[in-house]
Structure 1
């Protein structure tokens, strides 16, 4: 056999397999999974499921891993040593800031988890927290890149932070209604206090700075242009939390979710017909 004919490296084979699986199951991942998730979350909250299934932490993590698989498949080819180091540091920051929040009430206000979202780190915060936290940051970062299509750091940073806050404005009311977490002093925004969003301004700024330093923005934009499923995780997020909030009558988060869906539908760079 010619020396030029060689097998793909193991990493590339894994990336190709994951990309093919995601591409062939886009509707199931981006729409069916969140719809089933909404039904199970609400049924669990209303006591309609057996206790062993209602809000089961490993079911929650497993379903979330399936829904974020397009994001993982999209970003995997871009993860070099610098990006991997940045993501590892971001995971450490995520655990640290959340632990500080639970112990001190800063920067998000005094809150506690009502449901164990998998194994708990020091019995305080979910060990799998990055699985839930990273997609909010990365999807916001990807949207900012697509909206701006520029290397302007200040504009990209500002829009990414605004989108992070928007996604949290959608997430937190639904999570509170489901009993995932709650504040000691509930706030006026569907039980969420204003200090939570001030905390997100702080922690989000640090997290976005880490992302900005970790990835090649030009390569990320090229990948977005060539990878049609890269934003499918955002679709899953908006479907799931939009419907959860609708069930509980949280209409501002619903309007925000619908607004982002409409933005995606009207964009030239995202084709919903292939779902």
Structure 2
């Protein structure tokens, strides 16, 4: 039996994490979001009893689906990037607290599902693992889709803001349908008020400025070229929230999820290989 040993350096840890994600790519990017969609919709229908919306399952499942993004970005995090992510974390907690308490900038809302420990009894401690992927995935996908045009700050900023809004046009209706949170007075777009999207324009702008300052775009581009799974978290997003919205009949969000999928397809990021056991099973059947 092989002995377990801790990585001797950060580089060793990064290589091992890359290898782990690559080996389990299909499970992380496809199986987990499919199971997540089933468990969340079953929870909304009160079919799971005490396991309905179990906060530890939600947080741990979300964290697993984030592993490709974490592994992909990690080698590019130096001191400056760490400061940028730290500032973004503080911003995420602060703007969420302000939103819950005052209704600005997203509109008045309250959580309807336990998402784990709460900071100041108001904001989920795990908020960064829900917030960061929205903006970082949008930023990375825009770098790929825009090519050299991404070097223009106005084009980059407007493109990322637009993509973050599309992502949230998918996420929020599904989350509201599940009962994750609810907006006071509802909203015109599947129970979501337009003020929510105005707030996301602000948050996306802050995020782009922080990522621009903290990271080397050349480094991120090079890492995207080397790391095929770096946007698999966005693949998971399309599967998970596309399925949930389809279950509730939210067809505009479903179409927008498909649009994100088209963007990923254009970058050839829907190339997730089947695990060996599934490939062998299909080969036997054929």
TM-score by length of 1: 0.94
Alignment of 1:83-122 (within 5 A): 83-122=81-120
Between 1:140-149 and 1:9-18, the stretch displaced more is: 9-18
Question: Which residue of structure 2 aligns with residue 253 of structure 1?
Answer: 253
Between 1:146-155 and 1:169-178, the stretch displaced more is: 146-155
Question: Which residue of structure 2 aligns with residue 244 of structure 1?
Answer: 244
Partner secondary structure for residue 36 of structure 2: helix
Structure 2: how far apart are the matches of 1:91 and 1:268?
Answer: 29
Structure 2: how far apart are the matches of 1:216 and 1:127?
Answer: 28
Structure 2: how far apart are the matches of 1:251 and 1:268?
Answer: 25
Question: Which residue of structure 2 aligns with residue 3 of structure 1?
Answer: none
Query: Where does the alignment leave 5 or more consecutive residues of structure 2 unmatched?
Result: 1-6, 275-286
Question: Which residue of structure 1 aligns with residue 281 of structure 2?
Answer: none
Question: Which residue of structure 1 aligns with residue 27 of structure 2?
Answer: 28
Question: Which residue of structure 1 aligns with residue 66 of structure 2?
Answer: 68
Question: Which residue of structure 2 aligns with residue 206 of structure 1?
Answer: 206
Structure 2: how far apart are the matches of 1:270 and 1:35?
Answer: 18
Question: Which residue of structure 1 aligns with residue 135 of structure 2?
Answer: 137
Question: Which residue of structure 1 aligns with residue 161 of structure 2?
Answer: 161
Deviation at 1:263, TM superposition (A): 2.7
Q: Residue 141 of structure 2 contacts residue 264 of structure 2 at CA under 8 Å; is this kept in 1?
A: no
Aligned length: 266
Structure 2: how far apart are the matches of 1:258 and 1:60?
Answer: 24
1:146 maps to 2:144 = yes
Partner secondary structure for residue 229 of structure 1: coil
Alignment of 1:45-84 (within 5 A): 45-51=44-50, 53-84=51-82
Structure 2: how far apart are the matches of 1:71 and 1:227?
Answer: 10
Q: Residue 183 of structure 1 contacts residue 191 of structure 1 at CA under 8 Å; is this kept in 2?
A: yes
Summarize the Cα distance change of 1:31–1:82 in structure 2 as closer, same or farther, 3 Å threshold: same
Question: Which residue of structure 1 aligns with residue 277 of structure 2?
Answer: none
Summarize the Cα distance change of 1:105–1:146 in structure 2 as closer, same or farther, 3 Å threshold: same
1:14 maps to 2:16 = no
Deviation at 1:56, TM superposition (A): 0.8
Cα RMSD, aligned residues only: 1.2
Partner deviation per Cα, 1:241-266 (whole Å, 9 max, x = no partner): 0000000000000000111212322x
